[in-house]
Chain A
């Protein structure tokens, strides 16, 4: 659900650690109620971006705003509007879950009575109500993840930045977590979520940002991103039987182009091809197949999934890095400007 108001915004965000360019002119914006899936390989610059957004790091250039607050000049105000769940849990010894949350509530200045009510609320929301009296250090990884979500929600932040929130959760808990994130978005929270489980992100995110070597490679809705990455659409024709596969291949080549990439699978009775043609031309192709007496059970566009989009970016990135490394005097893959 999008509410139109930009809540997280970065412009030309750049961060250098000595000679290492960790973030290269990152520009993006997320609206209220949106869930942004922030994807990239390890060391791509995700954590650096997050650290700048939550006021734990300063950019070398550019700016970032969260809920209208400048992350650079007002890092302390940022903390009240952002809830950050890092990948490390941050356990304390000899503390029960309720005491743990009570401490963070007190640190955020929540009044005593309100805090007690809030602890119950966030534990319920995170599905961790049963852990209230357990010692934090004895919790399993999955239980700690739930408590970490509860801790992040304690001060009721406007923006939630969650690093691998489903890591270590069992399948049922993963589904519950996905539902929780969607519920939070419905309540008007803006979420920035990183995960290496891309199909999971594809289920919940209405915005995707793919980042490699510090540079934003793709940004937008999943459809926009896949279109940015590949202008060709993948079409699939499911036949009633494998007998007419040869005929279908012929018609497709004639209709699309003689050298079109057409793949068929007699075992599945399927023919797949990639094309840049529009809807009308594809409708014409379907009519021609039917007229040719082909038994068409389904004629549809195969949605490029997030994994494929990510792999496209990662492969292009690797190829560019290889090319650069082979160039005379070429730099190594991690140093210098991003591809």
Chain B
């Protein structure tokens, strides 16, 4: 176990990027505290300012853990499988548990180092007053540590079941969305229906680390529509998160043996080769039969785009149809909610929820799709083959970008009916909705380009995905952390400037989400996002050409 742990951890710690990340994080946290440090010898005894800094710091750390931690465990096992080194590991006198804990330790070791780098800043918060060690800072670190363990075990679980690094990354981030955000919905939607449902949704909600962090930071009622959630979110999370981590670890360790590689090759029986009865039966079951031989790529379509779709499990026609179906149902649901005015939320609140959902999907999915566009090709050796074809670098890039853009367009279009219903119900919202849709469209373009640009700099898709999320976090979520400190420590002007840089904040502002209405973010954000997107596109084109041209 120690050998694997050392290899996993040292491999990453030896890089200059790791050093830069550690120093950068320590500096950022230090700066955060410095901003709120009392000046002129006057201290603030209530501790409110210290708590504000701790909140910004706490949410930032949680976002960092959610987005950056899972990438490495998600690829840890599948990468060995793809390279063929898993056979060597399984042949060594190492138990499945040793391999597993070595990999888990490697993934968590670096997270622990990063969390340690933030300790001086947390110590300074304690020095400012307003929080305690046991009930405040230590509890926050405990929740963050458990969140890291929960996500790392989840990543390793997915990794043990995946066949490709790219697929593992996408599945892991989808599961993170499911684990961290979806458990919040039942409580939000059903709270107050009956005591039993209240209790059940409260427990479901505690599967996510978000309520626990909110409680530690003294914001347990935020987002609960004024209804108290009651205490105990931390305890419930420690219990549920712990159980989930142990469960994931146990299942993964059980899989980590020779049986993992002892798989029969799929026979490749195609529908066309089956008896007539079976063919008819499958025709009834599937609209697009996944076992049917795919047609040749039409000459007028970019072959790289088709290849990208075919390489993705969810990019296949039958999955695309299923996704369209789910999106349409969701959209209809939103329409119904908007039309019926369920729970008297009001159209603005539904619109805000819709925007938040779309942004969450964009921020979570787009980087896992975009980051691997070039890095995954370089990792698998496919890039050299692409360079050997007469396809121009422009054509390759166009195909790849289209393959990410089209699912995102689909995602955005799925909610259009909901917006249309809102416009019909309240025509005065039309202008606002157009602004929201335009901002979301621009945000999608921006996120794809950021991910693709960051991903093009790396040879491994895991590093590329982590870097993409890192850049996106810095750009989209950091301004939101500054927004959390609005009024104090940050003034209106500072917050507005910061929010202008974030496309996510602009979308929330355009949808008149409470808390964002005070800031004039448009059209300044459109200009900024547009110009940066253009610059990123030029950068990706240059980078693609650089990687494509003869050495």
Residue in chain A with minimal CB distance to B291: A133
Type the 1/0 row for A200-234, where 1 means its CB is closer than 8 Å to any CB of B: 00000000000000000000000000000000000
- Beta-carbon contacts of A128-144 to B below 8 Å, as 1s and 0s? 00011111011110000
A250 to B391, CA, bound (A): 71
- Could you tell me if B550 and A104 are in contact, using CB atoms closer than 8 angstroms? no
Determine whether the beta carbon of A54 is less than 8 Å from that of B296.
no
Mask for B253-291, Cβ within 8 A of A = 1, else 0? 000000000000110111001000000000000000000
Contact B293–A133 (Cβ < 8 Å): yes
Contact A103 B297 (CB under 8 A): yes
Whether the Cβ atoms of A90 and B385 lie closer than 8 Å is: yes
Q: How far is the CA of A79 from the CA of B115 in the complex (A)?
A: 51
Question: For residue A91, which residues in chain B have a CB less than 8 angstroms away from its CB?
Answer: 380-382
A93 near B269 with CB under 8 A, answer no
Contacts A90-B385, A92-B311; A76 near B390 (Cβ below 8 A) = yes
> Quick one: closest B residue to A104, CB to CB?
B389
Inside 8 A of A132's CB, which chain B residues have their CB? 268
Closest to A111 in B: B299
Task: Confirm or deny: A86 has a beta carbon within 8 angstroms of a beta carbon on chain B.
Answer: yes
B311 pairs with A93, CB closer than 8 A:
yes
CA distance A11 to B167 in the complex (A): 46
Residues of A52-66 at the interface with B, using a CB-CB cut-off of 8 Å, are 54-58
A115 at the interface (CB under 8 A from B): yes
B residues 324-383 with Cβ under 8 Å of A? 380-382
Is B380 in contact with A133, judged by CB distance below 8 angstroms?
no
Q: How far is the CB of B237 from chain A (nearest CB, A)?
A: 35
- Tell me whether B166 is interfacial, beta carbon within 8 Å: yes
- What 4 new A-B contacts, CB under 8 Å, besides A72-B550, A79-B390, A135-B266? A56-B388, A91-B381, A93-B167, A138-B265
Q: List 15 A-B contacts (CB under 8 A).
A: A82-B388, A84-B388, A86-B381, A88-B381, A90-B381, A93-B313, A94-B310, A94-B315, A103-B307, A104-B389, A107-B386, A107-B390, A107-B391, A132-B268, A133-B268
**A80 interfacial contact with B, CB 8 Å:** yes
Proximity bits, B1-31, A CB within 8 Å = 1, else 0: 0000000000000000000000000000000
CA distance A139 to B382 in the complex (A): 16
From the candidates B266, B382, B387, B391, name the one contacting A92 in the complex (CB within 8 A). B382
Q: Is A92's CB under 8 angstroms from B380's CB?
A: yes
The closest CB in chain B to the CB of A143 belongs to B265
Give Cα A84 to B265, complex, Å: 28
- Cβ of B311 and Cβ of A104 under 8 Å apart? no
Q: How far is the CA of A105 from the CA of B298 in the complex (A)?
A: 11
Interchain CB contact under 8 A, B390 and A93: no
Indicate whether A102 reaches chain B with its CB closer than 8 angstroms.
yes
- A58 to B551, Cβ gap below 8 A? yes
Which residues of chain B come closer than 8 Å to A86, judged between CB atoms? 381, 384-385
Question: Which residues of A have CB within 8 Å of B163?
Answer: 93, 137
A106–B310 contact, CB under 8 A?
no
Give chain A nearest CB distance to B313 CB in angstroms.
6
A112→B382 contact, CB < 8 A: no
Structural contact, B268 and A135, CB atoms closer than 8 A: yes
A109 to B392 alpha-carbon distance, docked (Å): 12
On whether the beta carbons of A102 and B296 are closer than 8 Å, the reply is yes
- Picked from B299, B310, B382, B388, the residue with its CB within 8 Å of the CB of A99 is B310
State which of A54, A92, A98, A103 has its C-beta within 8 Å of the C-beta of B388: A54
Answer whether residue A95 sits at the interface, using C-beta atoms and an 8 A cutoff: yes
Beta-carbon contact of B164 and A79 below 8 Å: no
Contact B551 A56 (CB under 8 A): yes
User: A133–B390 contact, CB under 8 A?
Assistant: no
Asked if A134 and B550 make an inter-chain contact with CB atoms under 8 angstroms apart, the answer reads no
Residues of B within 8 A of A99 (CB): 294, 310
* A95, B166: Cα distance in complex, Å: 14
Q: How large is the interface on A (under 10, 10 to 19, 20 to 34, 35 or more residues)?
A: 35 or more
| Given A133-B269, A138-B265: A95 and B388 interface contact (C-beta under 8 Å) | no
Q: Is B306 interfacial (CB 8 A cutoff)?
A: yes
Cβ of B316 under 8 Å from chain A: yes
A102 to chain B: closest residue by CB: B296
Cβ of A104 to closest chain B Cβ, rounded Å: 7
State the Cβ distance, A36 to closest chain B Cβ, in Å. Answer: 19
> Are A51 and B551 also in contact (CB < 8 A) when A86-B381, A138-B265, A138-B266 are?
yes
A134 x B268 contact (CB < 8 A): yes
Shortest A163–chain B CB gap in Å is 11
Which A residues touch B492, using CB under 8 A? none
Nearest residue in B to A87 (C-beta to C-beta)? Answer: B381
Q: Which residue of A lies closest to B296 (CB)?
A: A112
Which residues of chain A are near B384, meaning CB under 8 Å?
56, 86, 88, 90
**Chain B residues with Cβ under 8 A from A135's Cβ?**
266, 268
* Complex Cα spacing A95 to B304, Å: 13
* Chain A 138-170 residues near chain B, CB threshold 8 A: 138-140, 151
Q: Which residues of B are found within 8 Å of A104, using beta-carbon distances?
A: 385, 389
Task: Judge whether A282 is part of the interface by a CB distance below 8 angstroms.
Answer: no
- Of A76, A79, A80, A92, the residue contacting B307 (CB under 8 A) is A92
Is A274 interfacial (CB-CB < 8 Å)?
no
The closest CB in chain B to the CB of A52 belongs to B550
By a CB distance below 8 angstroms, the chain A residues around B161 are none
Q: Is residue A25 contacting chain B, with contact meaning CB distance below 8 A?
A: no
In the bound assembly, the distance between CA atoms of A86 and B381 in angstroms comes to 9
Q: Give bound CA distance, A30 to B92, whole Å.
A: 47
Give A109 to B268 CA distance when docked, in angstroms.
27
Q: Does B312 contact A (CB under 8 A)?
A: yes
Shortest C-beta distance, A62 to chain B (Å), equals 14
Question: Cβ of A115: which chain B residues have Cβ within 8 Å of it?
Answer: 296
Q: When chains A and B are docked, how far (Å) is the Cα of A226 from the Cα of B551?
A: 35
Q: Judging by beta carbons under 8 Å apart, are A107 and B389 in contact?
A: yes
* Given A88-B384, A92-B307, A137-B164, A79:B268 Cβ within 8 A: no
Task: Please give the distance in Å from A168's CB to the nearest CB on chain B.
Answer: 12
Which of A72, A93, A109 has a CB less than 8 Å from the CB of B164? A93
Residues from chain A with a CB closer than 8 A to the CB of B304 are 107
Q: Which residues of A contact B388 (CB under 8 A)?
A: 54, 56, 79, 82, 84
* Distance A133 CA – B299 CA, assembled complex (angstroms): 22
B109 on the interface (CB 8 Å rule)? no
Q: Is B441 an interface residue (CB 8 A)?
A: no
CB distance from A118 to the nearest CB of B (A): 10
Residues of B within 8 A of A102 (CB): 294, 296-297
Quick one: given A56-B388, A84-B388, A88-B381, are A116 and B268 in contact (CB under 8 Å)? Answer: no
From known contacts A79-B390, A94-B316, infer whether A103 and B306 are also in contact, taking CB-CB under 8 Å: yes
The residue on B at minimum CB distance from A152 is B388
- In angstroms, how far is the closest chain A Cβ from the Cβ of B412? 25
B303 on interface, CB distance cutoff 8 Å: yes
Nearest first, the 6 closest Cβ-Cβ pairs linking A and B are A88-B381, A133-B268, A106-B303, A107-B389, A93-B164, A90-B381
With a CB–CB cut-off of 8 A, which chain B residues contact A174?
A: none
B390 and A109 contacting across the interface, CB-CB below 8 Å: yes
Who on chain B is nearest to A139 by CB?
B265
Could you say which residues of chain B place their CB within 8 Å of the CB of A178?
none
CB pair A133–B550 under 8 Å, yes or no, is no
* Complex interface: chain A residues within 8 A of B307 (CB): 92, 95, 103
With A51-B551, A106-B296, A116-B296 known as contacts, the answer to whether A56 contacts B265 (CB < 8 A) is: no
In the assembled complex, A188 has its CB within 8 A of some CB on chain B = no
